[in-house]
Amino acid sequence: MLRTFQWTKELLVWNPFNGHEHPLAIPPVFGRKSIHGAVLRAAPGVDHFQVVLVSTDVKQGVVACVYSSETGLWGNLITTPLPSRGRIDPNKPAVLVGGSLYMLLLRLEAPSMIVEFDVGRQSLAVIPLPASLDSKHSRFYSVMRADGGGLGMVFVSTSGGSAQLWKRIADYDGAASWLLQRTIGLDKLISHDLKMKCSLQIMGLAEENNVVFLWSGIGVFMVLLDSLQFKRLPLTNMRQWHPFESVYAAGI
């Protein structure tokens, strides 16, 4: 797990299984900007890890840098242009799909986008959201893994009645576009009385099993998008979610 704080010069990599903590100094190039990122492990049981940090810069656009615990060093700064000013959404964790990390990029004067960091190529790119999404309200959508693999999006309607699952696909010419795969009737899963006329908002996502956590004002619902099972959780006031799906211990 990677713990960051806004306007700080340090971050902490924490292993919740053994309690090991690895403090890191943030590269000076990030200055006092709001940052986002993720920790990547090469394989279960491997001690070495990488830390990917991503932020935005007025002059350079989207910027990223990678730390290797094997060398103990940060790599070169990676950049890609951004048409207008924006910031990485700090409330949505980065999602690993294939060999790339994806994060939401919020922009005040233009539609939001998705930042893609290709781990192998060490490159950045920006991707538009599906045209029909209301990109001004990121609490209603999140990046996810699509059915069958690849980049996907889950979008909960502002009324809370349905959820749309989108997938990024490429045509024969290599051009990419969004395809609406299916629509889920949340109103059939979660009773109207439980929602109490409160709109459902996405609070978190467990990416390995496509489990979405929805907040309704009176409680939190865990919805399995593949099986359409749901459960109400005894939690109400937490604003950010970082679910653990599995833990590996060497030698077990």
In the chain (252 residues long), the average pLDDT of successive 10-residue segments reads 57 78 85 80 73 87 92 93 83 85 84 91 92 69 86 81 87 83 81 58 77 78 82 65 53 42
Apex 86 CA angle, 82 and 91, nearest 5: 130
For the chain, give percent helix, strand, coil, nearest 5.
5, 45, 50
Instruction: Report pTM.
Output: 0.83
The number of C-alpha atoms within 13 Å of 105 and in the hemisphere containing its C-beta is 28
Which DSSP string do the residues of 72-101 spell out, in sequence order?
Answer: TEE---EEE--SS--EE-TTS--EEETTEE
Measured between alpha carbons, how far is 159 from 182 in angstroms, rounded to an integer? Answer: 18
* pLDDT at res. 8: 59
* pLDDT at res. 160: 61
* pLDDT at res. 252: 40
The tokens for 127 are: 């991707």
- Identify any residues that bridge with 154 across adjacent strands, giving them in sequence order: 142, 165
Q: Do 122 and 146 touch, CB atoms closer than 8 A?
A: no
* pLDDT at res. 194: 54
Measured between alpha carbons, how far is 124 from 79 in angstroms, rounded to an integer? Answer: 7
* pLDDT at res. 251: 45
Measured between alpha carbons, how far is 199 from 159 in angstroms, rounded to an integer? Answer: 5
* pLDDT at res. 100: 93
* pLDDT at res. 250: 46
